[in-house]
Amino acid sequence: MTKPALEDLETNLREQAAAFNYPPTPDVVGGVRQRLAAESRRPSLRLTQPLGAMVIILVVLSALLAVPQVRAELLEFLQIGIVRIFPVAPTPTATPLPLTATPRPTTTLVLSLIDLAGETTLEEAQTQTGFVIRLPTYPPDLGPPDKVFLQDQGGPMLVLIWLEPDNSSHVRLSLHEFGEGTFAEKFEPKVIQATTVDGQPAVWAEGPYLLQIRNGDHVTQRLVDGHVLIWEVEEITYRLESALTLEEARQIAESVR
């Protein structure tokens, strides 16, 4: 196109643009200001305590962990007190150990709670734990524990066991009380659900799953078939194991005094 032709085209476009009836320009800035002002007047949900945030996190996680694919990819573990819950089993590494590596921890498999080491009395355990031993008062016929075990797992681990009244070889329920310094892991529970005990965050898990307790170079493992409620009070982690429902287990947990 020649220069005169370009000049004629430019002149023509200018004339058409000047005659074009443009729609009015919206007040974008004013609209944004009005929306911001309206948002600021709306009541907002504010969690004034860490408890509220923790409960919401646990509720969201329990919903997400119901999906196996999400469980495998969402997080490495969930922790309450000294207990870590792994939604999936840890992937073994294929990297060979160096020749100077520290020997692997020795592992002891416990087949039954009744076979635990460290059997003692409630009175003697109270002198050694370093914390106040609390007992459930519900159900009314529960009474004191039939067996008491105290172990040093890097810190005191107390296990209280109530046996079935008509069968002393079967455990009715057990209550673990973990002091500071102890460390426990659960691998692949069938169900993980958020709940509360006395208004505090708690976790409900259903077996079968592997319970693992570490103490330096020694690991104790046990396959758990029952239901477990886990919560924490004043830096003591409680683990109630039974065949009860969640609501029944919560009643027992909230009776611990």
Q: State the pTM of this model.
A: 0.67
Segment-wise mean pLDDT, segments of 10 residues, the chain, 257 residues: 55 56 56 60 52 58 54 64 80 46 70 90 96 97 97 95 94 96 88 94 92 86 92 96 97 97
Output the six-digit token pair for 144. Answer: 């004191």
Q: Does 232 reside within a domain?
A: yes
Q: Does 16 reside within a domain?
A: no
Give the pLDDT of residue 100. Answer: 45
Residue 230 contacts residue 201 (beta carbons within 8 Å): no
Q: Does 75 reside within a domain?
A: yes
Q: Does 201 reside within a domain?
A: yes
148 lies in which domain range?
50-90+105-253
Counting the structural domains of the chain, the total is 1
Amino acid, single-letter form, for residue 32: V
Residue 238 contacts residue 256 (beta carbons within 8 Å): yes
Of 256, 86, 93, residue with least CA distance to 173: 256
Q: Does 27 reside within a domain?
A: no
Q: Does 121 reside within a domain?
A: yes
Q: Cα(182)–Cα(8) distance, rounded to whole angstroms? A: 88
Give the pLDDT of residue 87. Answer: 79
Q: Does 82 reside within a domain?
A: yes
Q: Does 226 reside within a domain?
A: yes
Residue 229 contacts residue 246 (beta carbons within 8 Å): yes
